[in-house]
Amino acid sequence: MLAIIGGSGLTTLANLDVSRREVVRTPYGEPSGALVFGQIAGQPAVFLPRHGYGHTIPPHMVNYRANLWALHHHQVQGIISVASVGGIRGDLEPGDIVVPHQIIDYTWGRKSTFFDGVSTPVTHVDFTEPYDASLRERIERAAALLGIDIKVGSVYAATQGPRLETAAEINKLERDGADLVGMTGMPEAVLARELGVPYAAINVVANHAAGRGDSLNGIHFESLEQVLQEAMGRVRSIIEKLVGSPDACRPFGMSV
């Protein structure tokens, strides 16, 4: 069963044929909302809105550990994270869909590990490649079969939020090698790694980052919603194609 975590622009999954909802209690508190179980293209799937169904939970307040634990508890085979981002790299335009391959973490103060109990042994996980390669390949394959253009390979900068960045901060992120900027990529990705669940991201460029393109002198919030809604329609199509493909019977951690 594939899990989809929806971010800004994807608080519901319209192509999920819902069968039930379940409120999950976890050792780490409550997840962002009830897990919604159903089928996509005849295959089982579960959806969780990262910011809650009313989009009321800011990025730094998301209970990432509870979210990931709840999905792992239901033995999901893989997780696709959907989130909106700002585009730093010059060729990234609002509405572009991007599958990142690397992360730089600038967040602070978030509960970022399951291995922090008093009696818990110190545990290190390999995070050289933060996104699962085979799940990324399946996303790319599904998009190609649909003729949907996506950008492959980029570095995601995870910032604290909830405020957006200054133009100077974006300049620094670019010097550090970042192509995209968002607020929810960490610790979500590393928590999935600690649990051994294949994890990949689909990012939608909602706007040029501060000081770039038409955001040169400020972010134009009034234009974001239309961009996100159109792009999220393509994202839903990609997810449906991926879940319904002949490869769906393979565990998500295996290469196609």
Domain assignment present for 255: no
> pLDDT digit of tens for each residue in the chain (256 aa)?
999 998 776 766 778 888 999 999 999 999 999 999 999 989 999 999 999 988 899 999 999 999 999 999 999 999 999 999 999 999 999 999 999 999 999 999 999 999 988 888 888 999 999 999 999 999 999 999 999 999 998 999 999 999 999 999 999 999 999 999 999 999 999 999 999 999 999 999 999 999 998 887 778 777 778 888 899 999 999 999 999 876 655 665 554 4
Q: Structural domain of residue 79, as residue ranges? A: 2-249
Task: Indicate the number of domains in the chain.
Answer: 1
- Tell whether the torsion through CA atoms of 163, 167, 169 and 170 is positive or negative: positive
Do residues 103 and 158 make contact, with C-beta atoms less than 8 angstroms apart?
yes
Say whether pTM exceeds 0.75.
Answer: yes
Domain assignment present for 22: yes
Domain assignment present for 184: yes
Compute and round to an integer the Cα radius of gyration of the chain: 17
Do residues 135 and 253 make contact, with C-beta atoms less than 8 angstroms apart?
yes
CATH code of 149's domain? 3.40.50.1580
Domain assignment present for 254: no
Domain assignment present for 9: yes
Where in 57-215 does DSSP place strands (E)?
78-87, 97-99, 102-105, 151-152, 155-158, 180-182, 199-208
